[in-house]
Amino acid sequence: MSIEQGGLAGPNWPEFELRDDEAPPEEHHWLDNPPTVGAVVVAHNGARWLPKVLGSFSSMFYAPTAWRAVDVGSSDGSADLLRDAFGAERISFAPSGTGFGEAAWMGVEQLPHTDWIWLLHDDAAVLPGTLAGLLDVATSAEDIAVVGPKLREWPSLKRLLEVGVSITNTGTRETGLETGEPDAGQHDWPRDVLAVSSAGMLVRRDVWDDLGGFDPALPMFFDDIDFGWRVARAGHRTRTAPSAVAFHAEATWRGTRRRTAGDVPHWEARRAALYTLLANTSRRRFLWQYLRLIVGSILRFFGFLLGKDPESASDELLALRSVYAHPLELREARRTRAAIARRNVADFKHLFPPFWLPYRHGLDAVVEATIAMVKPESVETTGRRSAFDDGTPLDQQPEEQPSFVYRHPWLITSLALSALAVVAGRGLFSGPDAAAVLHGGALPPAPDSAGDWWRAIVERSHPVGLPSTGIPPVFLVPLAIAATPVWVVPGIVVSILMLFAVPLAALSAHRLGRRLTTHRAQRILWAVSYALSIVAVGAVAEGRLGTVVALVVLPIVANTAIQIADDPGWQKGVRLGIWIAVAAAFAPIAFLLCVLGLGLFVFLERRWVLRDALIAVLTSAALLGPWLVQRVLHPARMWWEAGFPIEAHASAIDLLFGRGGGPGAAPIWFNVALPVVAALAIVPRRTRHNVLLCWVVALAGLSVAVLGNAMAFTTPFGPARIAAWVGVPLVIWVAGLLTAVMLAVPEVMGLPRAALATLAVAVLLLPVGIGTWWLVRGTDHPLVNDVPSTVPAYIAADVGSTLVVTGSVERGAGARVVVDGGPFLGLEAAAPSRDRAHELQTTVARLLARPAPEDVERLSDLGVSAIYAPDVDPGIARRIDGAPGLRPAGSDSPRSRVWVLPGKPAKLSAEASPWRWLVGGGMISAWLVAMLLTAPVRRRRPLPTLGDEGDDL
């Protein structure tokens, strides 16, 4: 079949099927006097698409009267394909690096003179009625100079790419379509547009000649928009022909075309956008546009950096330089356009998108970036992408029409856990009045606003009773960042972490579980059991925020480490370090545990992960900074987690069954079967290796827990020894056993039914038992949601600070100085200077022994205006009664006593060095940078192309 006959000769070309709705009109008014059309196909390394493209030319209702193919330096056999299709005499060859416009010009020059020119790409296929549809519109009016088809996405074939195109005043190619918008005929009426794509563009030959074709300065991108703009200024119309459909793979735009020497650089797209805007903008708006694009480009540069898209950021600068460094070229372009102008831009202003559209796009970009950070698997990245193929064997895939529950078991489980958390947290979501906040046990209340946390990070002196110049705890930084969006109610962050600890931990554990097993049911059960272990150990009810956060994060740490084992990389090492830092900021012992874990990791994976493990340790150490140094100087303080240092003690039996001791721990018998079943899990030979590894991890946790249980630490406040809380290593012990069981489960499926039932009961005892217990007991006690009342309100409102005395003469007394209602979360660790702490301690000791007037005066000098003894020991009260000058005052309960000191308390000042804010600023900067690094990195990545997904052409 020859091209003159409207078809194309060639063996075995795949053919497009004609759909009913794409049939040509029955009558074409131009058929009586058919116009001549010369088609130019430009190819450049398009062998991947050309067979189908050329095949689509073979069955057109109305074919071009002349064909010309131009090959631009192809090295993939494209020229051979063209030669086979068109014959050698219709092929022209352009050197590599020739732009589309120049190649098209070359083809047009070698065509016989025709009424119309049809420009075709090597990655754009047409339907049999495409040209006929174009001519229907092209011949409908005299002033129509350019007509474009409706472009649909190839390979999906159903999604719209373009039905006409325009440009925003920021240089974005605007199609007016939603991303991925399917073609349902919603744009099927011809309309005037600024431009149409050069893929399938039908151009009147005389206009082409008058305008000189495409601008050679736009070799690849925006040449069509620039051409349409010039057509409009020349007084012609560009119109869409929706009845003409073409399929475009956008190989160059998507980067799927094999690149060769001479191809345009990546930043050419942005350069072309800037050039097109500046070359065509009216004289009146030129200066404004000129400056605006500079500023806009710089802003976009920083936006790309923040969005983890360094390559686009680089492109932005290179494009800006390329355009603005060649003013003469720009001037010449504007002069040329001015020469052919017949209309003002204002005359076709309606063909441009509204001015606000770029800002909406910007907002969309921010939303997308946020989603990318929150849910990285939802975007294409080269970084953390933990969601991957479920791996469920095909024979286990749900059959047709499975229930929603069966198709989304994890979603249902997560929702169920969240619902359980709501029920268990009854009474803790709101308090008796607006000032109520979650606190109790080891958890201090959150401040009134996120600003208090930010201020605590950078201020030189913390107003906490005796002024403190200590470096604030590093966990304030992530807390402040997280609380910033909920500025006036930062307690929401703490409430979510505490009350939804189980679903949060289950989510992170389940994500890790995907890497550990392909069996969905076991994985879900494992994740739920792990999450409930956090409740069972007593961390939630006792307000141990540090333990909760660390145990939510540790599965992510393990997940990231496994990613490194699969595919090492320094960025993953940094990411691992960041997560370790998050866990250790809240529970410093997690740092030690992670270092131990990394040691085991390196031992198992050998030297090839050593570098990344070291990077992880160094990164976390850098982020923890002075906080870590403080703890290293007093190693026992690694046990001091976020919150009040409340002592705990677990018996050996508690340790065995994963209970940290204290009022919030679950009964141990829910876990009695776990060690036994985990020991049995060693039996199957096939999974023994991995099960033993789990045991090693579990034993590491148990060892640390046993040692920690015998340790006590002191705080900077004084010599009080606080027995360590070992919740974090205990849950690691339990998690190791749970993992061992999970890995061995598939191997025991062949056991007799009775044995299986026994094992199932043993395995289910933990999640079902603890879940029920949690639901019945609730999350409260000692956790409460009410107005914090470290001291009675009328004392808190008074000037000066309050000395709070607890304990008894016989068992020892505790003393702390508070201002207002007491310290908020984070400032509980802000200790006064050693001298003042010692002075307070000795003064209170004298006060509670044989008080003298000077003791009262000294207290006043320390800024104390009142003494409050809640639940007072009579011996303590009598001794304070004996202090000369103290005046008893009314107390808030019969069991408490209040004394007021005479005179005005001194105003203490303590300020750290002026450079202190640099420490806080450095901490904030380090964490912000770290969080940006944690966000997914965007790279130029080939989009799905022909053959990558369903190709039903």
Q: How far apart are CA 899 and CA 877, in angstroms?
A: 10
Q: Which amino acid type is present at position 935? A: A
Return the SS3 of 91: strand
| HEC-encoded secondary structure of 220-289 | CCCHHHHHHHHHHHCCCEEEEEEEEEEEECCHHHHCCCCCCCCCCCCCHHHHHHHHHHHHHCCHHHHHHH
Contact residue for another protein among 644, 670, 824, 927 (CB under 8 A): 644
* Beta strands 37-43 and 66-72, pairing class: parallel
The DSSP line for 119-168 is EEETTEEE-TTHHHHHHHHHTT-TTEEEEEEEEEETTTSSBEEESSBEE-
Considering only 366-374, 587-595, 839-847, 860-868, which stretch makes contact with another protein by CB under 8 A? 839-847
Q: How far apart are CA 716 and CA 836, in angstroms?
A: 11
CB 869 → another protein: shortest distance, Å?
12
CB 264 → another protein: shortest distance, Å?
54
Contact residue for another protein among 234, 412, 422, 852 (CB under 8 A): 852
Closest CA to 57 of 113, 2, 135: 2
Q: How far apart are CA 578 and CA 569, in angstroms?
A: 15
CB 837 → another protein: shortest distance, Å?
6
Contact residue for another protein among 849, 918, 928, 929 (CB under 8 A): 849
Considering only 493-501, 666-674, 710-718, 755-763, which stretch makes contact with another protein by CB under 8 A? 710-718
Considering only 107-115, 129-137, 384-392, 712-720, which stretch makes contact with another protein by CB under 8 A? 712-720
Contact residue for another protein among 287, 338, 387, 710 (CB under 8 A): 710
> What is the token pair recorded at 333?
């372009």
Considering only 23-31, 58-66, 614-622, 702-710, which stretch makes contact with another protein by CB under 8 A? 702-710
Give the number of other Cβ atoms within 10 Å of residue 404's Cβ: 9
**Residue owning tokens 């009022």:** 663
Does 603 interact with another protein (rule: CB under 8 A)? yes
Question: What Rg do the C-alpha atoms of the chain give, in angstroms?
Answer: 37
Count of residues that bind another protein according to CB under 8 A: 77
Ranges within 436-495 binding another protein (CB under 8 A): none
Contact residue for another protein among 337, 511, 879, 938 (CB under 8 A): 879
> What is the token pair recorded at 940?
């130029």
Ranges within 389-408 binding another protein (CB under 8 A): none
Ranges within 665-694 binding another protein (CB under 8 A): 675, 679, 682-683, 688, 692
CB closer to another protein out of 466 and 576: 466
Contact residue for another protein among 327, 599, 888, 903 (CB under 8 A): 888
Closest CA to 870 of 830, 815, 812, 799: 815
CB 825 → another protein: shortest distance, Å?
12
Return the SS3 of 609: helix
Return the SS3 of 803: strand
Considering only 77-85, 414-422, 612-620, 869-877, which stretch makes contact with another protein by CB under 8 A? 869-877
Does 890 interact with another protein (rule: CB under 8 A)? no
CB closer to another protein out of 34 and 684: 684
Contact 624, 581 (CB under 8 A): yes
CB 811 → another protein: shortest distance, Å?
4
Does 851 interact with another protein (rule: CB under 8 A)? yes
Contact residue for another protein among 106, 816, 863, 901 (CB under 8 A): 816
Return the SS3 of 107: helix
Does 602 interact with another protein (rule: CB under 8 A)? no
Does 711 interact with another protein (rule: CB under 8 A)? yes
Return the SS3 of 537: coil
The DSSP line for 868-885 is EETT--HHHHHHHHTSTT
CB 249 → another protein: shortest distance, Å?
51
Residue 633 belongs to what H/E stretch?
A: helix 610-633
Contact residue for another protein among 11, 719, 750, 894 (CB under 8 A): 719
Does 593 interact with another protein (rule: CB under 8 A)? no
Residue 54 belongs to what H/E stretch?
A: helix 50-56
Contact 390, 514 (CB under 8 A): yes
Does 895 interact with another protein (rule: CB under 8 A)? no
Contact residue for another protein among 809, 910, 932, 953 (CB under 8 A): 809
Contact residue for another protein among 844, 866, 937, 946 (CB under 8 A): 844
Does 337 interact with another protein (rule: CB under 8 A)? no
Contact 261, 96 (CB under 8 A): yes
Ranges within 510-549 binding another protein (CB under 8 A): none
Ranges within 118-177 binding another protein (CB under 8 A): none
Contact residue for another protein among 672, 696, 912, 943 (CB under 8 A): 696
Considering only 157-165, 218-226, 395-403, 802-810, which stretch makes contact with another protein by CB under 8 A? 802-810
Q: Is the peptide bond before 823 cis (omega within 30 degrees of 0)?
A: no
Q: How far apart are CA 221 and CA 924, in angstroms?
A: 42
Q: Which residues neighbour 618 within 8 Å (Cβ) at sequence distance 6 or greater?
A: 577
Contact residue for another protein among 7, 626, 718, 782 (CB under 8 A): 718
Does 942 interact with another protein (rule: CB under 8 A)? no
Contact residue for another protein among 113, 321, 407, 721 (CB under 8 A): 721
Contact residue for another protein among 604, 757, 760, 797 (CB under 8 A): 604
CB 645 → another protein: shortest distance, Å?
6
